């Protein structure tokens, strides 16, 4: 996979200094955390996963709130975006972070724009399961729908 392109480095640097995106992520994460309270399986569909900078604080919060008797819930993120290499690197970073927390975690990349298969059967492409709490994250993405 190699080194991240300059645009990735620029995006990450911008995220560190600009409060707007961090505030949006914090707000979305809090809503997801509240909605998923008590769930044993959580599936987040992120329509603009990019570099996944939103998710480590949420994963940490999920672990911090977990009942010690049963442990943290299983978390699955379906990360969508236009660049498969970026999504794969994002998945690797998030898996490593979740592993450091002993959090059961899976990441599935979803290439956008939508494929014909996704348009025909979104539930199958997203691997939706009835026992999962589902959250759809589209921070700063609605203008692209």
How is the beta sheet containing 41-46 ordered, strand by strand?
105-111, 74-81, 41-46, 133-137
Check residue 32 and give its pLDDT: 97
Residue scoring higher pLDDT (122 or 132): 132
Which pLDDT band, with edges at 50, 70 and 90, does 13 fall under? confident
Could you tell me if residue 133 is inside a domain?
yes
Number of domains in the chain: 1
What sign does the CA torsion over 52, 125, 36, 69 have? negative
Please measure the distance between the N-terminal and C-terminal CA atoms of the chain and give it in whole angstroms: 29
Instruction: Examine the pLDDT at 43 and tell me if it is beyond 70.
Output: yes
Could you tell me if residue 48 is inside a domain?
yes
Check residue 73 and give its pLDDT: 97
- pLDDT tens digit string along 76-124? 999 998 899 999 999 999 999 999 999 999 999 998 877 666 667 777 7
CB 91 within 8 A of CB 122: no
Could you tell me if residue 1 is inside a domain?
no
Check residue 6 and give its pLDDT: 63
Which pLDDT band, with edges at 50, 70 and 90, does 62 fall under? very high
Distance CA(84)–CA(87), nearest Å, equals: 5
Query: For the domain that residue 117 is a member of, what is the CATH number?
Result: 3.40.50.150
Check residue 1 and give its pLDDT: 44
Element housing 25 (H / E): helix 19-35
Angle between helices 19-35 and 6-17 (to 10 degrees): 80
Which 8-state DSSP code applies to residue 144?
A: G
CB 97 within 8 A of CB 14: no
Question: What is the model's pTM?
Answer: 0.83
Q: What is the mean pLDDT of residues 43-60?
A: 93
Instruction: Give the E-state strand segments of the chain in sequence order.
Output: 41-46, 74-81, 105-111, 133-137
Could you tell me if residue 126 is inside a domain?
yes
Instruction: Examine the pLDDT at 3 and tell me if it is beyond 60.
Output: no
Domain that holds residue 123: 6-144
3-state secondary structure at position 79: strand
Check residue 2 and give its pLDDT: 47
């Amino acid at each position: 996979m190699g080194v991240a392109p300059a645009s990735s480095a620029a995006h990450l640097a911008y995220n560190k200094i600009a409060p707007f995106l961090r505030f949006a992520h914090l707000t979305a994460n809090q809503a997801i955390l509240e909605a998923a309270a008590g769930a044993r399986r959580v599936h987040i569909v992120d329509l603009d996963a990019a570099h996944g900078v939103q998710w480590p604080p949420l994963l940490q919060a999920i672990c911090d709130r977990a009942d010690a008797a049963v442990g943290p819930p299983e978390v699955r993120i379906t990360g969508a975006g236009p660049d498969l290499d970026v999504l794969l690197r994002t998945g690797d970073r998030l898996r490593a972070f979740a592993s450091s927390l002993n959090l059961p975690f899976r990441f599935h990349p979803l290439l956008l724009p939508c494929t014909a298969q996704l348009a025909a059967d979104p539930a199958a492409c997203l691997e939706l399961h009835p026992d999962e709490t589902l959250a759809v994250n589209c921070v700063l993405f609605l203008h692209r729908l």
